[in-house]
Structure 1
Amino acid sequence: MSAPRGELSLRTLAMPADTNPNGDIFGGWLLSQMDIAGGLAAKDCSGHRVATVAIESMCFHKPVKVGDVVCCHTEIIKIGRTSMRIKIEVWTKGYPCPDRFKVTEGIFTYVAIDDEGNAVPVKGG
């Protein structure tokens, strides 16, 4: 079995209020969790506020079920002058089965910004 890549940036529980009409967790909810995790990683990397500017790719592998523990792992794959590309993998662990599964992954781009929303240099970028 493969393992998550990157740092654990967000861990939460999939709840009934987050389901789609099929009873699975709504993809938009999962996307928002990924964006939060990526934003936290980008803020730590840049030392500034950040804004999401692109989702380059995203692929759903398996559905997420109510009660699954949802773990978002982030890996910074490129730091530019003002931007950061971050790969985000989402893994779940359900009960009673203790196995972990990669359910989705994507590449998100964030830009470091100042209080007025202007792009600013990333530390070390």
Structure 2
Amino acid sequence: MTELLAPRGELTLRTLAMPGDANPAGDIFGGWVMAQMDLASGIRAAERARGRVVTVAVKEMAFVSPVQIGDTMSIYTAVERVGRTSITLHIEAWAQRARYKAQERVTAGTFIMVALDEQGIPKAVPQK
């Protein structure tokens, strides 16, 4: 069980870990978890940028607990920094265990997104 008592950030995405997302051992692929985190960071960053964003970097990410079939994944996001064209977010993935009521943190990371215009060129992020 993680030492954190509560998630940091806003609940941005919830989804269910299904058998098709699992490896032969029954654990959910880490890449699937990262994809859910990327979706959530894109949602939050696009809201802040008021437009299209892309992921340019993922930093400081470590898995502390596996996700299993039937777990409900909750992805929390917090905007850490807004640059001229970039948005840095802290992302946490939490699993509500299917067989237990406990929720525990699975992983966390820093995602950096860049705002783009219609031609795919970096554009300034609005100042709020």
Helix, strand or coil for the counterpart of 2:26?
A: coil
Q: Any unmatched runs of 5+ in structure 1? A: none
How many pairs align?
Answer: 125
Percent identity between the two aligned chains? 46
**How far off is 1:22 after superposition?**
1.7
Q: Does residue 1:106 correspond to 2:109, yes or no?
A: yes
Which of 67, 70, 73 is matched with 2:73 structurally? Answer: 70
Q: Structure 1 runs of 4+ off > 3 angstroms? A: none
**How far off is 1:20 after superposition?**
1.4
Q: Does residue 1:87 correspond to 2:90, yes or no?
A: yes
Q: Distance in 2 between matches of 1:88 and 1:100?
A: 16
Q: Does residue 1:58 correspond to 2:61, yes or no?
A: yes
Helix, strand or coil for the counterpart of 2:126?
A: coil
**How far off is 1:96 after superposition?**
2.6
Taking structure 2 as the reference length, the TM-score comes to 0.94
Q: Distance in 2 between matches of 1:117 and 1:57?
A: 27
Match of 1:11 in 2: 14
**How far off is 1:121 after superposition?**
0.5
Taking structure 1 as the reference length, the TM-score comes to 0.97
